Structure formats: structure tokens, C-alpha cells
């Protein structure tokens, strides 16, 4: 069962990585859309901003939320504990006293 969870975790991590990369890239493209609207101006700029705000941004938000959820499930399946304080013994290097 552990092997299956580890393999599933690896697949989910890969999906998470690509999904977050796509959502960040799409967010960057919306920035350029707003810059283009600023340069164009007028009613066309209003239409561009409206399309970006009402159609594209909600999709990016949903995609990001789903990807974060997949990342959390992948961490749970792998048995990772992030943001948890752990006591580790400091190992001294050979040259240290």
C-alpha cells in the first residue's frame, strides 16, 4: 500500500507542478492584457479589462485552488510534514571543535 501511495503522490506532485506553472503563466498574461488595455484606452480597453476580470481571472483562481488541493493530498500520501517544527541533532563537521 505504501508503494502505491508513493507512486500516486509522485504523479500528483507532477500534476501540481505543471498546474501551478500554468496558473502563474496565465496570471502573467493577464498582466500584459491590462497593460495593452492601458495603452489602447477607450471602450476597447474597458471591454478587454472586463473580459479578463470576469472570464479569465475566475478560471485562474479555480485552477490554483484545485492545484493547491492536489499538492496537499500528494504531501499527505507521501507522509511529508511541512511547516512542522522538528528537533534535529546538529552534526558537526570534521573541522569544527
Provide the residue ranges of all domains of the chain, joining segments of one domain with +.
2-78
Q: Any idea which residue has 511547516 for its cell?
A: 83
Statement: residue 4 has pLDDT above 80: yes
Q: What is the mean pLDDT of residues 12-34?
A: 93
Sign of the CA dihedral with 65 first, then 67, 68, and 74 last:
positive
Question: What's the pLDDT tens digit per position in 39-86?
Answer: 998 999 999 999 999 999 999 999 999 999 998 888 888 877 776 777
Q: Is the pTM of this model over 0.85?
A: no
Distance, CA of 27 to CA of 33 (rounded, Å)? 10
Give the helix ranges, DSSP H, for 1-97: 2-40, 42-51, 57-78
Whether 80 and 13 have beta carbons less than 8 Å apart is answered as: no
Distance, CA of 14 to CA of 51 (rounded, Å)? 31
Amino acid at each position: 500500500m505504501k508503494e502505491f501511495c508513493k507512486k500516486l503522490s509522485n504523479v500528483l506532485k507532477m500534476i501540481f507542478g505543471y498546474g501551478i506553472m500554468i496558473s502563474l503563466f496565465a496570471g502573467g498574461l493577464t498582466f500584459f492584457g491590462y497593460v495593452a488595455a492601458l495603452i489602447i484606452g477607450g471602450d476597447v480597453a474597458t471591454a478587454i479589462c472586463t473580459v479578463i476580470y470576469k472570464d479569465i481571472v475566475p478560471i485562474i483562481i479555480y485552477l490554483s485552488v484545485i492545484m493547491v488541493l492536489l499538492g496537499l493530498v500528494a504531501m499527505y500520501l507521501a507522509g511529508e510534514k511541512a511547516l512542522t517544527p522538528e528537533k534535529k541533532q546538529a552534526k558537526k563537521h570534521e573541522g569544527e571543535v
